[in-house]
Amino acid sequence: MNTEQQVGTATGHRVLVLGAGFAGMAAAIQLAARVEDREDVRVTLVNPQERFTERLRLHMTATGQPTAEMSIPELLEGTGAQFVRGWVTAVDADARTVRIDDDRVLRYDTLVYGLGSVADTAAVPGVEECAYTLNSPRDAEQLADRLARLGRGTVVVGGSGLTGVESAAEIAERHPGLDVVLLGRQEPGAAMHPRPGAYLRAALERLGVRVRSGVDVVKVLPDAVELAGGESVAADVVLWTSGTRVSPLAAVAGLDVDDRGRIVTDTALRSVSHPDVYAVGDAAAIRQGYGVMHGTCQGGMPTGVHAAVSIVRALEGKQPKPFRFGYYHTPVSLGRNDGVVQFTHPDDSPRRLYLTGRAAARYKETVTASPWPTYGRMKKMPASGAFWPRGGRFTRVREAR
């Protein structure tokens, strides 16, 4: 039998935030802190786990390294916001309801959709059945367990993007007895300036990672991967990091989505088809002057903060301001003691400036550790969350409606 959970007062405004990833968490804590004293606004955050997932550390989890316990309900304590543990199974954008896996139905007046993205395991046959992913802490732990038991053998990392690079480096460093092969279409670090790109490839070589770029994986088997052209590469373990996909829930709900299923937003981050739905983080297709943003933590947190501020403005009868964001860096870990930080222009193109070695590793660790304390600061001082690079001339864009 369905039960309906009341997540707001009968006369109050119910804001439901879906997903406590980097973006959803930023939205929830920012909003909770800003409406703490208002009796007429109720904030509810839905997430499958109480523990916050530091997704940027999942390649560390996959190599058996412990990560800190961070409790979402504890962070929300004292703000009046409510935490609901559950997996969203449906959104009814017309009735303004959300169903979760225990059949509870949550009502909202404003929805913040932050369900993130996962590695695309559907694009290549066999990935779903035979490959490991870093899609959740549980997936990463299963890989850690397998690697610990393997001893000797070959680990193929599919996908030469930055998650693939960081994972291959981490596995090679932690398991020197394993043969690590990184396969992908692009050369690792291809988007970087030539020098940091070359540094990154040399570091992989030093760690013993065998890189094969310019290859297309067409099938994953229990003991090998098959490349376009028919070649087969033996693999005891395959980790899949290539491509991303988002939950189909938004499309099924009838929200306007792009060709990758991400919610298309206006400049204020509201769904263009359902303005009572804000979309944040990887699940949103957010257009800036340089194009549609790609999924990152550095861009995801500001989207969450901006959505929260916009909701408060709307509640006060004000117009939300346009969202603007410019990228500023790409920090990449290469094991625990090495790394590359490529500084970027606001459109994410590489600048000449970069860091390498231990300084880069320290920089990366500082960045990785920063979201949780940032949420803590926002809880006490919401305005502290509003500092991010707006992108200058790169992000000046007129409303397209």
Ligand X SMILES: Cc1cc2nc3c(=O)[nH]c(=O)nc-3n(C[C@H](O)[C@H](O)[C@H](O)COP(=O)(O)OP(=O)(O)OC[C@H]3O[C@@H](n4cnc5c(N)ncnc54)[C@H](O)[C@@H]3O)c2cc1C
Amino acid letter, 131: A
Closest contact distance (angstroms) between CB of 229 and ligand X is 29
By rule CB under 6 A, what count of residues binds ligand X? 33
Q: Is 59 in the site for ligand X (CB under 6 A)?
A: yes
Closest of 122, 96, 70, 397 to residue 271, by C-alpha: 96
**Of all residues in this chain, which one has the CB nearest to ligand X in the complex?**
21
Q: Report DSSP letters for 224-284, one per residue.
A: EEEETTS-EEE-SEEEE---EEE-THHHHTT--B-TTSPEEB-TTSBBSS-TTEEE-GGGE
Q: Is 56 in the site for ligand X (CB under 6 A)?
A: yes
Q: Is 339 in the site for ligand X (CB under 6 A)?
A: no
What string of H, E and C letters represents the secondary structure of 320-376? CCCCCCCCCEEEEECCCCCEEEEEECCCCCEEEEEEEHHHHHHHHHHHHHCHHHHHH
Give the range of 14-22, 152-160, 340-348, 379-387 binding ligand X by CB under 6 A. 14-22
Nearer Cβ to ligand X (134/277): 134
Closest contact distance (angstroms) between CB of 73 and ligand X is 14
Contact pattern from residue 85 through residue 104 relative to ligand X, giving x for each residue in contact according to CB under 6 A and a dash for the rest? --xx----------------
Contact pattern from residue 312 through residue 331 relative to ligand X, giving x for each residue in contact according to CB under 6 A and a dash for the rest? -------------------x
Closest of 70, 390, 310, 343 to residue 192, by C-alpha: 343
Give the range of 16-24, 105-113, 205-213, 344-352 binding ligand X by CB under 6 A. 16-24
Q: Which of 30, 82, 110, 247 binds ligand X (CB under 6 A)?
A: 247
Q: Is 82 in the site for ligand X (CB under 6 A)?
A: no
When computed from its CA atoms, the radius of gyration of the chain, rounded to whole angstroms, is: 21
Instruction: Give the tokens for residue 94.
Output: 């017309």
Contact pattern from residue 276 through residue 295 relative to ligand X, giving x for each residue in contact according to CB under 6 A and a dash for the rest? -----xxx-----------x
Q: Is 133 in the site for ligand X (CB under 6 A)?
A: no
Q: Which of 16, 225, 277, 297 binds ligand X (CB under 6 A)?
A: 297
Sign (positive/negative) of CA torsion 29, 35, 38, 42? negative
Which residue shows structure tokens 């693939």? 164
Phi, psi of 211, rounded to the nearest 5 degrees:
-100, 130
Closest contact distance (angstroms) between CB of 315 and ligand X is 23
Phi, psi of 250, rounded to the nearest 5 degrees:
-65, -45
Q: Is 165 in the site for ligand X (CB under 6 A)?
A: no
Strands 224-227 and 217-221: antiparallel
Binding site for ligand X (CB under 6 A): 19-24, 46-48, 53, 55-56, 58-59, 87-88, 114-117, 134, 163, 166, 247, 281-283, 295-298, 300, 331
